């Protein structure tokens, strides 16, 4: 079972898609995806998060069969060459089942187990880690923190009812999904309010529009510095377990410097 509890693990994003918002098409070919995966690992990625479908604003959904065709060959090849844990970013139960059969270690569900059948698939795979992200439309009668905490509790109880070990769970407040710019900033600014009890948490702000709002940078590929700053701010306010980013090298170096300065270990 994957250990989510280790602090400040950097998850490298590997998009095997033609249309992701910041790197669509760059690693769509299996060979290119494998080369990029090797670079992410060399840069210090503790986890690789493989996605076969873009979920950028206005995306066109692809079928589970297409998603499986994109990611399964990559998973199989990576399992031959690396021991780095592999996460799969999907909300389709069929894709999760195929990815688990191919050897992935984590299912990262951006729809937070809302798709019928996903909970049943994961209940049958007790060795698989589960990342549950909030992406539902916001309930405006609640604050963003109240809404997300209510969602977390609902999913926690559903997992318990399905016999899923709570140690398998990690939660993600879903920056950029169904929230206003101000709400997204609140999640980054006050991460302690968006942790469910003492469960591990994932923060994914990499290159998102929230970073554009804070930096006025329209080009997603030029938002890595802002991503690192926002991620480190969240770390400083709360002991974040996983940081999901495109630029692994920058995030790893940023964490090293921040951690050494914070812990008075910056001897030269």
Tens of pLDDT along 216-238?
A: 999 999 999 999 999 999 999 98
Q: What is the per-residue pLDDT for 21?
A: 44
How confident is the model over 96-102, as a mean pLDDT?
Answer: 98
Residue 140: partners with Cβ closer than 8 Å, 6 or more residues away: none
- The Cα–Cα gap between 55 and 147 comes to 22
- The Cα–Cα gap between 28 and 70 comes to 8
> Which pLDDT tens digit goes with each residue over 3-54?
999 999 999 999 998 754 444 445 557 888 899 999 999 999 999 999 998 7
Query: What number of CA atoms fall less than 13 Å from residue 171's CA on the CB side?
Result: 23
pTM across the whole model: 0.92
Q: What is the per-residue pLDDT for 57?
A: 64
Q: Does residue 244 have an active-site annotation?
A: yes
Please state which of the ranges 55-69, 140-154, 214-228, 237-251 shows the lowest mean pLDDT: 55-69
Catalytic one among 111, 155, 209, 244? Answer: 244
Q: What is the per-residue pLDDT for 25?
A: 46
Catalytic one among 179, 208, 209, 223? Answer: 208
DSSP-derived secondary structure letter, 69: H
Q: What is the per-residue pLDDT for 20?
A: 46
How confident is the model over 162-183, as a mean pLDDT?
Answer: 96
Which homologous superfamily is 9-262 in?
Dihydropteroate synthase-like (3.20.20.20)
Which of 109, 52, 53, 46 has its CA nearest to residue 82? 46
């Amino acid at each position: 079972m994957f250990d989510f509890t280790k602090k400040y693990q950097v998850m490298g994003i590997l998009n095997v898609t033609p249309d992701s918002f910041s790197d669509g098409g760059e690693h769509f070919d299996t060979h290119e995806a494998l080369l990029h995966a090797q670079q992410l690992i060399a840069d210090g990625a503790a986890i690789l998060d493989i996605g076969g479908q873009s979920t950028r604003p206005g995306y066109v959904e692809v079928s589970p069969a297409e998603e499986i065709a994109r990611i399964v060959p990559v998973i199989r090849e990576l399992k031959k060459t690396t021991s780095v844990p592999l996460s799969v970013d999907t909300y389709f139960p069929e894709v999760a089942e195929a990815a688990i059969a191919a050897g992935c270690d984590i299912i990262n569900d951006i729809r937070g187990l809302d798709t019928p059948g996903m909970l049943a698939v994961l209940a049958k795979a007790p060795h698989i880690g589960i990342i549950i992200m909030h992406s539902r439309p916001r309930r405006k009668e609640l604050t963003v923190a109240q809404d997300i905490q209510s969602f977390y509790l609902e999913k926690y109880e559903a997992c318990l009812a399905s016999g899923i070990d709570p140690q398998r769970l990690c939660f993600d407040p879903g920056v950029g999904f169904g929230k206003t710019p101000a709400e997204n900033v609140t999640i980054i600014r006050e991460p302690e309010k968006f942790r469910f009890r003492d469960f591990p948490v994932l923060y994914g702000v990499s290159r998102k529009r929230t970073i554009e709002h804070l930096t006025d940078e329209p080009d997603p590929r030029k938002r890595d510095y802002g991503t690192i700053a926002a991620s480190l701010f969240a770390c400083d306010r709360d002991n974040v377990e996983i940081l999901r980013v495109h630029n692994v090298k920058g995030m790893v170096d940023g964490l090293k410097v921040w951690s050494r300065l914070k812990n008075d270990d910056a001897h030269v």
